[in-house]
Structure 1
Amino acid sequence: MLGIDQILRLPLLPLLLLQGISVRRQALILPEPRGARQGRQGDGPALRLLIAGDSSAAGVGVEQQTQALSGQLAAQLASAFEVQWQLEATTGHKTSDTIARLAALPKQRFDVVALALGVNDVTSGTSRKQFARQQNQLMQLLNDRFAPDLILVSGVPQMQHFPALPQPLAWVLGRQAARLDRVLIAQAKARSTVVHFPFELPRDPALAAQDGYHPSAQAYHLWAEILAHRIKEHFT
């Protein structure tokens, strides 16, 4: 059954196209942060961590990787583990891009994989059915290639709240984001090693980067805190 946003897309299409063009033209394009994309830190039992996904996984919105998800997550885990971490993320990547990227890595062992995907699947028009199929392919690839004990899936963000998006474009994208997020929820329920976390940060302007689209350093800290808590809970 079609959602109300899907029914209204055709009559709204001219406006949505104009808003989409305007957003792209006016968008503040932020670079991926500088800094290491792999490392080792901390004391304790060894923990091998892979972070993969799109621009949010890559840390867009801050200047240094130490302020981004990878750096903050590794720092929070270093109090309990010797963390060997690796970041495989690129601005603009959809699920299909991440599959190709991870398939090119050598076969190796990661204890934990943290994923951040979905926004680019929404904006590129990936259907719910396509997204489900690609996410299943991704899960199979992770298990076959890296054999993780834990896969942490961050939910698709609530795009209707992105400051950079005007209405009704924000509403339409938000509805599709929620639709794709339900795929991730179902996936986690079906797989014992997968845990889904809703991407529901407080609606605070301080949590958005200056482009109104990506997380700020404070938001990355909160996000890393949630993931670190679950990892510590699982392994200690």
Structure 2
Amino acid sequence: MKRRLPFARVPQSMALIPLAPVLAVQAWRTVRRTPRLDPAGGDEHGFLQGADPGAAPAFRVVVIGESTAVGVGASRHAEALPGFLAEALRERLRRSVAWSVAGENGATARRITAEVVPRADGAAPDLVVLTTGINDLIRRRPLRRWAADMADLVGAVRDRYGQAAVLVAGMPPVHRFPAIPQPLRYVLGARARTMDRIMREAARAGGAVHAPMDEAMARDRALFASDGFHPSPAGYRAWALDLARAAPVPADPAPADPAPAGADPAGPRADRTEMTGPI
């Protein structure tokens, strides 16, 4: 059964009506002038060795979503959100981390549910990170439908990865994007904040964790790619650190059970080593 959330309509200010022609022109110019950057290249999965490979099985993370999932603004996935997130989780957990990514540039939440989630890595991850929202914002997805889309997306991930923790990355602070002029930036930013509140409610209702994006990151132009819209590698690193801190993961790896007297210690260790392979 599809999950639905209660929704309160947010009235639009009547003061924006006279600005409609200006906003339309600014939106058209922004789309035409913003450089089109390619998704990151390189492997869509990776493995980072921990300090003690035999201490615990590798922690597995899958990043699913739109342009930020596929690393638009970076040259390689290892220098985009998946790679930097794996590095941050390795430091936090003191474990090896295996990562993979499934995404589509320009995808809406509805498309991610229908097309991206089904083809994501089938291995059982410990953590799934979702990035979505900006394309629904640009396309002015009605807010009631956005609420339903987010509930469906979280539910689809839950159905596919029942044992994984789910982290929903919050909407970016669009009101600070350098590529977007005022007053369009103000209008889109206000709508993005409303969408983020709906996203938070959907995450909570679906048993996921919502991680709001730190607005301070958007004040540093160096954290944006050349299009002024997507993160640069430095931006992905900063964002990944925040997401790793917010991720609902064990603080420490579970200690290995002591071997019984007379048991061959190579047996259990061999089992643990086999489990640390990449996704």
TM-score (norm: length of structure 1) = 0.90
Q: CA deviation at 1:107?
A: 5.4
Q: CA deviation at 1:131?
A: 0.9
Partner of 1:3: 11
Q: CA deviation at 1:78?
A: 3.3
Aligned amino acid, residue 219 of structure 1? G
Q: CA deviation at 1:85?
A: 1.7
Distance 1:184 1:148, change over 3 A: farther
Q: How many residues align?
A: 234
Aligned amino acid, residue 53 of structure 1? G
Q: Equivalent residue of 2:69, what SS?
A: helix
Partner of 1:185: 200
Q: Equivalent residue of 2:128, what SS?
A: strand
Structure 1 distance, partners of 2:104, 2:16, is: 29
Aligned amino acid, residue 176 of structure 2? H
Partner of 1:216: 232
| Structure 1 gaps, min length 5 | none
Partner of 2:70: 58
CA contact 2:209–2:247 (8 Å) conserved in 1: no
Partner of 1:167: 182
Structure 2 distance, partners of 1:226, 1:2, is: 29
Q: Equivalent residue of 2:175, what SS?
A: helix
Q: CA deviation at 1:108?
A: 4.7
TM-score (norm: length of structure 2) = 0.77
Q: Equivalent residue of 2:87, what SS?
A: helix
Partner of 2:168: 153
Query: Which is helix-richer, 1 or 2?
Result: 1
Once the two structures are superposed, what CA deviation does each residue of 1:25-48 show, in whole Å capped at 9, x if it has no partner? 111111111111112332342222
Partner of 1:30: 37
Partner of 1:195: 209
Q: CA deviation at 1:87?
A: 0.4
Partner of 2:267: none
Structure 2 distance, partners of 1:2, 1:87, is: 35
Q: CA deviation at 1:113?
A: 0.6
Higher relative contact order (CA closer than 8 Å, sequence separation 6+): 2
Which segment is superposed worse, 106-115 or 144-153? 106-115
Cα RMSD (Å): 2.0
Q: CA deviation at 1:104?
A: 4.1
Q: Equivalent residue of 1:55, what SS?
A: coil
Which segment is superposed worse, 216-225 or 113-122? 216-225
Counterpart check, 1:91 vs 2:105: yes
Structure 2 distance, partners of 1:2, 1:133, is: 16
Specify which of 113, 120, 124 is matched with residue 128 of structure 2: 113
Structure 1 distance, partners of 2:27, 2:81, is: 28
Structure 1 distance, partners of 2:188, 2:143, is: 13
| Structure 2 gaps, min length 5 | 1-8, 51-55, 253-279
What fraction of aligned residue pairs are identical, expressed as a percent?
32
Partner of 1:48: 60
Partner of 1:17: 24
Structure 1 distance, partners of 2:215, 2:47, is: 28
Distance 1:143 1:235, change over 3 A: farther
Specify which of 62, 71, 84 is matched with residue 72 of structure 1: 84
